[in-house]
Amino acid sequence: MARETCTMLRTVSSRWQSKKNFALPSVCRQYHVGGPSLTADILHGHWASSHQYQQLDLEENFASSKLPLNELPPKEAKVVVCGGGMVGTSVLYHLAMLGWGKDVVMLEQGRIGGASSWRSSGFLGGVKLMQPEMKILWKSKTLAQELSDAGHDTGWKQCGGLHLARTRDRITHFRKMKAIAEASGTECYILTPEETAKKCDILNTSDLVGSFWVPNDGVCDPYKLTFTLLKLALEQGSQVVEECHLSRILVQNERVVAVETSKGMIECDYIVNTGGLWARNVGWMSEPQVKVPVHPAEHYFLYTQKLDGIDPLMPAIRDPDGNIYMREFNGGFLCGGFEKWAKPSFEKELPGAHQDRELLEDWDHFFVMLREMLFRVPVMKNAVLGRLYNTSCAFSADHRWILGMVPELTNYFVAAGLRSGGSTAAGGIGSMIAEWIVSGTPNMDAYDLDILRFLPMHNNGKFLMDRVQEIPGIHYSIAYPFPDFTTGRCLRMSPIFPRLKAAGAVFNQVMGYERPSYFVPKSSADVEEYETSADSEISFPFEIAKTQTWTKPQWFNYAANEYAACREGVAILDYSSFAKFDVWSKGNEVVQALQYLCSNDVDIPVGNIIHTGMQNPYGGYENDCSLARTAPNHYMMIAPSIQQTRCVTWLKRNLPADGSVVMSDVTSMYTAICLMGPLARNVLSELTDEDLSTKTFPFFSFKEIDVCLANGIRAMNITHTGELGWVLYIPNEFALHVYENLVSVGKKYNMLHAGYYAMRSLRIEKFYAFWGQDLDSTTTPLECGRSFRVKLNKDIDFIGREALEQQKKKGVKRLYVQLQLEDHNPEVDPWAWGGEPIYRDGVFVGVTTTTGYGFTLNNLICLGFVRNYDENGNMDYVTPEYIMAGHYEVDIAGVRYLATATLRSPSLPTKFPEPQANRYLATQT
């Protein structure tokens, strides 16, 4: 009968699809919304006509009918905000509150206040494991509360947030959220099913194992909140123009100078792209084009009529295992969901300015979520439907919001990809963007949200179309370690990718590159079949790494063997995803330029390598890289994979404007193969005539060598883990030849393939910090034990020097530590995977950044920063003595484990000790 019901709905929808705001005909009004069996009664009851629920059809209730908007835009403005949705309105409001009200104009191609652009769940608050997201959510909730307290109607209700768990892994996820939330001062609880039922007595709790309760969370009316922000911005002199079509963004010298609209030209100092699902198209309007990798997908909002017995303070319900959410709204329910596999919308062309972004309801598609809603709240079967909206919402290529200054232009900001969470995040995002524009720097580091995390490949239309099907389902997925995607794979591959796959590689994706995480060794028979097969794809399918557990991962033993080979034998690793750049000049200009950019002294002898940071004016890391001087006027820069766009942008903006220094991104030109371990020299020496002895080819040195029949190979005696070995940067045409010869010779030394997980354990155990995981743009070298890499006495001034000098005089307010857990049983206890609270003498002092198992220390290792908070919660100065005098614990999913702290790289025992003079330390105190 359910199938018959859906068939009926298709017939009805087909008859009425030409009407914008249709009311279902009377033939449908004899069916109920649902019933206990979820079959024949699925549509029993009375359907509401659209005229009965005008408050749900806000398309006809535009804000322009109530507020004084501008007919024409000004001739000039400091900031032009492109897009009048919730985020654009928030940016406008926050700029006005910072004193720029009269200098800001917001443009909307349609009408201001349309429901499709001002619609969301209205949820406020929530707990995230990612700190930037958590701060933004908190800011959004606080804004709605403060406006409500000031007498503005935002629909704010402190009803609490109730997150339901159907599985033990979900409860563990909630316990991790609770640990970080409580450490940050948020009140929250883990409830039993019985306690959950008491919080909301209309819930069916029969299948629950518990829930997560955040009492101070709440909801708002998204329309009322956005209307209030717009009204307050207008009172400060801000200007808003609707039905104004943006046609071109004019650029001079990599800066936006004006925007051309259907109502005239506007000269401006800044532009903010808040175009929602049109944000990518807005990016096309400039030259160079700005790449904003978002694509719309269908998202459903179901409204019901008023229902007796619904508590106005009913908690905001999130049932992530059922992929649904629910709340009280106007006496009825507002429901929605994030299906596992979504439908892309507007596959060929986005709607125009006067077209509705609403799509025809697809009850077949929505049925799965409706069934979950009726199961979770059985009383909903008595509700009369108001309307089901199928609204297109923009999702980014990796599910996270897209914020910040774009890499192509220096005064162009983006806030996009909000995945239908306008009210949830718009307040915090608007505040962040506004402060960034006014002060010139963001109020927090948010690399995970920064647009610089993308490459041009992520803006490919076909890629986005495929990826957006998967993205919405991630929203409610359990945040297991090392998450990855199944769509958009096998895009960037090194030439040795097929050989690595044949060797048993299980891959993760980083910046589009397929990088081996670990290897599942193949049997001799498998290898023989591969070598004789004409179709290796059939023999060895592509495998994606998954870690769907909070405890000891299934790949533990594979990583352990690879780790052992790296430390006591020899292993071969693919480093091709590392970002690689050539920087050169005709004369000495490149040296002078890099001395200005780098905090270390880069004027090193030809053939040497140096590790250095590139600091911003506040002393934080904009880049963390290794520089090999290949010639008097030529350097090769190696940086973390995730910094590829960031490096290009930072260099482009800070190298001499006269073009005397040239930078080239050569990431895709070289295959990087690392030979790691004490026997690496034995393997490589059989394939090259180069003297590889420590005396002639020492640690942190570079040579261009021949390997077997290939030449022009850039060999660097560095592994980025502190272990012995070389990284060979091989021109792609020689990559397979070199790889196969290395593997052939390596067999006599029992060489293994190793992946990222083994490398990660090596660097964590050696106390190596990586950018984007441990370091960010707010971290200074003095805070992470790297002051020895900062040369304050250089003749040439460098960016951030003054800030670092001041910090050296005054002291630091946090220090980077390594923590070894003491009473943790890795066989049965949940593991630390990053983001866990750190306690010193029972007081919260920080969170872990990266964690991993130390196979030599036989212990779980956590890295992170320790702070010193005074009685008022302010950060005080921290000294090594303060660090070493404390007793530490790490909270893993609600259980605190004792830990021992250190500030120095440990001395690990090895069968092949190198002279101490050649030992490289990641940190020094």
- Please give the average per-residue pLDDT across 719-735, as a whole number: 96
Three-class secondary structure of residue 195 per DSSP: helix
Average pLDDT score, the chain = 89
564, pLDDT greater than 60 = yes
Residue pair 276/449 in contact (Cβ under 8 Å)? The answer is: no
Taking the C-alpha atoms of residue 401 and residue 453, their distance in angstroms, rounded to an integer, is 11
253, pLDDT greater than 90 = yes
Q: Residue 82 corresponds to which tokens in the numbers above? A: 């492109």
625, pLDDT greater than 60 = yes
**173-177, 438-442, 528-532, 867-871: which has the minimum mean pLDDT?**
528-532
Residue pair 119/70 in contact (Cβ under 8 Å)? The answer is: no
923, pLDDT greater than 70 = no
> Model confidence at 353, in pLDDT bands (50, 70, 90)?
low
Taking the C-alpha atoms of residue 333 and residue 383, their distance in angstroms, rounded to an integer, is 8
Beta strands in 166-263 (DSSP E): 189-191, 210-214, 218-219, 239-241, 246-252, 255-261
Could you read off the pLDDT of 513-535 as tens digits, one per residue?
Answer: 999 999 999 866 565 565 555 55
Q: Sheet containing 634-639: which strands, arranged edge to edge?
A: 609-615, 621-631, 634-639, 579-585, 661-665
Residue pair 555/738 in contact (Cβ under 8 Å)? The answer is: no
pTM: 0.91
> Model confidence at 29, in pLDDT bands (50, 70, 90)?
very low
Taking the C-alpha atoms of residue 528 and residue 44, their distance in angstroms, rounded to an integer, is 63
Taking the C-alpha atoms of residue 780 and residue 439, their distance in angstroms, rounded to an integer, is 20
The H-or-E segment that residue 283 falls in is helix 279-283
- pLDDT attached to residue 873: 80
Taking the C-alpha atoms of residue 572 and residue 266, their distance in angstroms, rounded to an integer, is 57
Residue pair 496/673 in contact (Cβ under 8 Å)? The answer is: yes
The H-or-E segment that residue 852 falls in is strand 843-854
- Please give the average per-residue pLDDT across 331-335, as a whole number: 95
- pLDDT attached to residue 68: 85
- Please give the average per-residue pLDDT across 668-691, as a whole number: 97
- Please give the average per-residue pLDDT across 183-204, as a whole number: 95
Indicate the angle between helix axes 131-149 and 222-235, nearest 10 degrees.
70
Residue pair 306/385 in contact (Cβ under 8 Å)? The answer is: no
Question: If 0-12 CB within 10 Å is exposed, 13-18 middle and 19+ buried, where does residue 425 land?
Answer: buried
**25 or 912: which leads in pLDDT:** 912
Residue pair 275/341 in contact (Cβ under 8 Å)? The answer is: no
Taking the C-alpha atoms of residue 780 and residue 791, their distance in angstroms, rounded to an integer, is 13
902, pLDDT greater than 60 = yes
Highest-confidence range of 527-536, 729-738, 864-873, by mean pLDDT? 729-738
- pLDDT attached to residue 913: 61
Highest-confidence range of 61-65, 125-129, 806-810, by mean pLDDT? 806-810
What percentage of the chain exceeds 90 in pLDDT?
A: 79
Three-class secondary structure of residue 889 per DSSP: strand
What percentage of the chain exceeds 70 in pLDDT?
A: 89
Q: What dihedral do alpha carbons 620, 666, 732, 730 form, nearest 10°?
A: -60
> Model confidence at 49, in pLDDT bands (50, 70, 90)?
very low
> Model confidence at 356, in pLDDT bands (50, 70, 90)?
low
Q: Which residues pair with 324 in a beta bridge?
A: 319, 337
How many CB atoms are located within 10 Å of the residue 422 CB? 27
First-last CA distance in the chain: 72
Cα–chain center distance at 162: 25
**108-117, 698-707, 741-750: which has the minimum mean pLDDT?**
108-117
Question: If 0-12 CB within 10 Å is exposed, 13-18 middle and 19+ buried, where does residue 804 land?
Answer: buried
Taking the C-alpha atoms of residue 112 and residue 118, their distance in angstroms, rounded to an integer, is 9
Residue pair 726/702 in contact (Cβ under 8 Å)? The answer is: no
**167 or 51: which leads in pLDDT:** 167
> Model confidence at 11, in pLDDT bands (50, 70, 90)?
very low
Could you read off the pLDDT of 629-655 as tens digits, one per residue?
Answer: 999 999 999 999 999 999 999 999 999
- Please give the average per-residue pLDDT across 733-761, as a whole number: 98
Q: Residue 154 corresponds to which tokens in the numbers above? A: 């935002």
How many CB atoms are located within 10 Å of the residue 191 CB? 21
CA distances to 517, 526, 751 from 754, in Å: 8, 19, 9
Could you read off the pLDDT of 270-319 as tens digits, one per residue?
Answer: 999 999 999 999 999 999 999 999 999 999 999 999 999 899 999 999 99
- pLDDT attached to residue 54: 38
Three-state secondary structure along 606-653? CCEEEEEEEECCCCCEEEEEEEEEEECCEEEEEECHHHHHHHHHHHHH
Could you read off the pLDDT of 435-474 as tens digits, one per residue?
Answer: 999 999 988 888 899 999 999 999 999 999 999 999 999 9
Could you read off the pLDDT of 492-516 as tens digits, one per residue?
Answer: 999 999 999 999 999 999 999 999 9
Could you read off the pLDDT of 768-791 as tens digits, one per residue?
Answer: 999 989 999 999 999 999 999 999
> Model confidence at 537, in pLDDT bands (50, 70, 90)?
very low
